[in-house]
Chain A
Amino acid sequence: MHDTSAQAVQHHAPTSFIRKHVFSLDHKVIGKQYYALALAAALIGMVLSWIMRIHLGWTNAAIPGLHALSPNGAPGGVLTPEYYLQLMTMHGTIMVFFVLTTAPFAAFGNYFLPIQVGAEDMPFPRFNMMSFWVTFIAFLVLVASFFLGDGPTLGGWTQYAPLNAIGSSSGPGQGLGVVLWMTSIALFCIGQLLGSLNFISTTLDLRVKGMSLMRLPLSAWAWFITSCMGLTAFSVLMPACILVILDHLAGTSFFVASGLVLNDQVIPHSGGSTLLWQHLFWFFGHPEVYIAIVPGIGIVSHILLANMRKPMLSQRVLIYCMGALAVLSYMVYGHHMFVSGMNPVSALAFSFPTLVITIPATITVLIWVFSLYGSRLRINSASLFALGFISMFVSGGVSGFFLAQPSIDIMLHATYFVVGHFHMVMGVAAMFGIFAGTYFWFPKMSGRMMNETLGKVHFWLSFVGTYCIFMPFHYLGLIGNVRRYQSFVDDFMAPYLGVHKFVTVCALITGAAQFIFLYNLIHSRFKGKPAPENPWNATSLEWSIPSPPPWNNFGDKHPVVYHDPYQYGVKGSKGDFVMQDSPEQVVPASGD
């Protein structure tokens, strides 16, 4: 902790347009750039999911405009089997990397972590700027593969070997498409590594006077823990991607075994290991699930506290739980590989920590739910999405009980049960965390309030809609509905086509509801009611500075922290709360 952290990072107010809005060193601008990137990526990812869902419900339906986008992939607007897989791969990749990692961690973390610790900026602003622009280039490289002759890779977001390494003869997009995918993700990893370094050093080195680690808001703790995971997880995925590129371009055989035959020709590779890719990928991949969800846990806790008007039952236990989730996430990755051909004894070794990880997750939920007891819960768009997050986290979490067990995984692996599970727990829950964060922090970021009525309509349609989409996925998985099929042509699946059609209709409606959010966001940015400094009567440092904050956050002030982050339900000069940087004594409210 540094008493004079405000001086630790000091740059002058930018004057040119380019320095202010494009190549900005300001963590707040970079945070907003990340948010804009995630928003664009989410829109593309959502439209891709619409196309996939329409195709799954009505396989021979022509989708207007699709022919123009890809005459080969969708002749007459009807998806070919390979184009379905290509769109599916892009949907997964865009959503996991460029939305679920980018928005809750890189966007909100960039904007609010330095402010919440009381700093003027991050310690390495140039690294921070580079982190965004490398991520942006990564996104462009990925999207560029849409415009290749044979389209993007069709190998799924997991890009299993050796399909990812033996070139275009194994399928459309498997040549240059894979190389672009690997390049994009390797660049993305570099961006996140730079970001993680900044987050860690901001938390450890730039805290203002009085801001001990235990006085950090839960959101700051979540970003700190996530950045520790990011540092270790992305540093494994990046070299793995480079090795695949070498398999393509340099004739190496890291992931291709000997004696494989494609189109009656023996592949000129030898000696590689296909399972090696899965180990490297999932060593990143499982922590990635927590990289997507832990920021949500922190953000939702932070928002609930401001709306419950009382402290959590234990902030310390929540921090320990997030830490436990992070540590355990490295020990459980093999549960993705139970039937992969890995040694069956190791399946049992990976199963146990996977079951154990439900304990910190359960404690987290119990702390949230029982903290609601006796509160004065305010219902607004932000708190609704935070409550929705808890509900989704529970629903997606309990299905983890099944997938943690190798014997049950024999039946559920690669089925829609898995698709339902991860969409709920890491997709929808994380998205709800992003929405909650947006409704809560938008006034601070833009200086204007969002429309609450539209926010609530957005919540109800999204909440009910996502349950209607993803609960049936679990049921379909239980009967043995295999995932990653472009259509269900066999007799076994025919009776369940109606369920897929129902899900498609729900997906179209729920997706359309997101445009209410988009309208609200854009309209409020320009026409929303001006936001006061502290519209939610919240206590952490971001609410002690103007909305939007000046370029150096605290102006010429150097905040000093006197309290734990969540002094709600107390008697303060401003009401039932005392700000973290307020020197006044904390007096419990009467009747407590």
Chain B
Amino acid sequence: MGKFFAITILVIAILSAIPIVMHTWEAPADISTHGHLIDEQMSETMAEAGISFLAAQLLLAFFVWQFSNRGTETKLKSFPGGAKALVIAALLVVGVEVLALGVFGVKAWADVYLIPPSANAMPIQVQAGQFAFYFRYPGPDGKFGPLHPERINEGSQEFFGLDKEHDVDSRDDIVTAEMAVPVNKEVHLLMHAKDVGHSFFVRELRVQQDFVPGLDVSLHFTATKIGRYEIVCTQLCGLGHYNMKAYLDVLSQDDFNEWMKKETAMQ
């Protein structure tokens, strides 16, 4: 039965590794300027974790195969290196491994979070509420008008609580249910939640960030490929969570200008 256990682990380990080696299941292709760093970090981690996984499972299988159900008269042996060798090996191998992953991973994280957006990044505000995203563009004046939560009224399509009558900056603001951005243009996303926690996840953009009620959070990215991508909520926000989504349209500059004109006319 020990040998059967060893074979089972061997089969499980190999079957588990096949989809990874064959790249059967992978995230959709990256469309951002920073995403390749995340993808590279993922590949390196996959290689290191994969080798650790296979080595440990195969060693376990090998030793169980070799040493299970031996007679009581067989000679007992102890691993020659002893515990000290294993501790030193683990400290060196895993220590170097985690240090390398930690140090190299900082670059990918810093690109998204620690380096501020450039001054000419396009600001877009996004508001998450049960169970929809709404977007606001500042209009020609480049300024967002203030928010008045008490004025929010979904029935009259006042999603952000703007007071266009009194707030000059709000008058040219453009509110949309879908998000459009020009290709290869850096976007500065200003995020706030209306009610409870939500999240903004675009797989292709390699971006995921929670909305924190009561806190303004910002994010910046540059989309590099024209197309239509799904924005999904990944923070459990209530009964409609599974269906809370919007779309991101990455457009050419001309198409974006055209889209903006149409949206402006609809305000």
Contact = CB atoms under 8 A, between A and B. Distances in A.
The answer to whether A binds B is yes
Contacts of A82: 238-239
B142 interface: no
A160 B197 contact: yes
Contacts of A162: 195-197, 213
Given A81-B239, A480-B203, A490-B230, 10 more contacts: A162-B197, A166-B195, A339-B210, A369-B56, A401-B45, A407-B105, A410-B112, A471-B16, A484-B236, A591-B76
Given A313-B86, A485-B242, A261 B196 contact: no
In this complex, the member of A258, A348, A351, A374 whose beta carbon has the largest number of chain B beta carbons within 10 angstroms is A374
B48 interface: yes
A471 B11 CA distance: 13
Interface in B36-51: 37-38, 41-42, 45-46, 48-50
Contacts of B130: 170-171, 262
B75 A592 contact: yes
A592 B74 CA distance: 10
B208 to A, nearest CB: 5
Interface in B193-249: 193-197, 199, 201, 203, 206-215, 217, 230, 232, 234-243, 245
B189 to A, nearest CB: 13
Contacts of A464: 8, 12
12 contacts: A161-B197, A260-B195, A261-B150, A313-B83, A373-B79, A379-B1, A394-B56, A398-B52, A406-B105, A414-B235, A467-B12, A467-B16
A235 interface: no
Contacts of B190: none
A258 B149 CA distance: 10
B259 interface: no
A275 interface: yes
Contact of A348 (B9, B76, B83, B109): B109
Contact of B27 (A257, A260, A480): A480
A358 B98 contact: yes
A410 B204 CA distance: 12
Interface stretch (B58-66, B117-125, B162-170, B175-183): B58-66
A378 B8 contact: no
B115 to A, nearest CB: 10
A341 B217 contact: yes
A469 to B, nearest CB: 12
A62 interface: no
Contacts of B239: 80-82, 85, 154, 171-172
A252 interface: no
Interface in A139-162: 154-156, 160-162
A380 to B, nearest CB: 9
A379 B209 contact: no
Given A262-B195, A348-B109, A463 B90 contact: no
A260 B194 CA distance: 6
B94 A160 contact: no
A192 B8 CA distance: 38
B5 A379 contact: yes
**Contact-size category for B:** 35 or more
A390 B60 contact: yes
Interface in A480-511: 480, 482-490, 492
Given A356-B98, A398-B52, A487 B242 contact: yes
B155 interface: yes
Contacts of A250: none
Interface of A: 80-82, 85, 154-156, 160-163, 166, 170-172, 174, 256-262, 264, 266-267, 272-275, 309-310, 313-314, 317, 339-341, 344-345, 347-348, 351-352, 355-356, 358-359, 362-363, 365-367, 369-379, 384, 387, 390-391, 394-395, 398-399, 401-402, 404-408, 410-411, 413-415, 456, 460, 463-464, 467, 471, 475-476, 478-480, 482-490, 492, 569, 576, 589, 591-592
A272 B215 CA distance: 11
A172 B129 CA distance: 17
Nearest to A589: B76
Interface in B138-167: 149-150, 152-155, 161
A373 B236 CA distance: 47
B76 A310 contact: yes
Contact of B56 (A81, A172, A365): A365
Nearest to A169: B195
Given A258-B214, A260-B195, A490-B230, A402 B83 contact: no
B195 A355 contact: no
Nearest to B158: A264
A408 B105 contact: yes
Interface string B79-104: 10111001101110011001101100
Contacts of A479: 25-28, 203
Contact of A170 (B1, B48, B196): B196
A166 B105 CA distance: 38
Given A274-B197, A317-B87, A374 B67 contact: yes
Contacts of B267: none
Contact of B79 (A273, A374, A456): A374
A377 B64 contact: yes
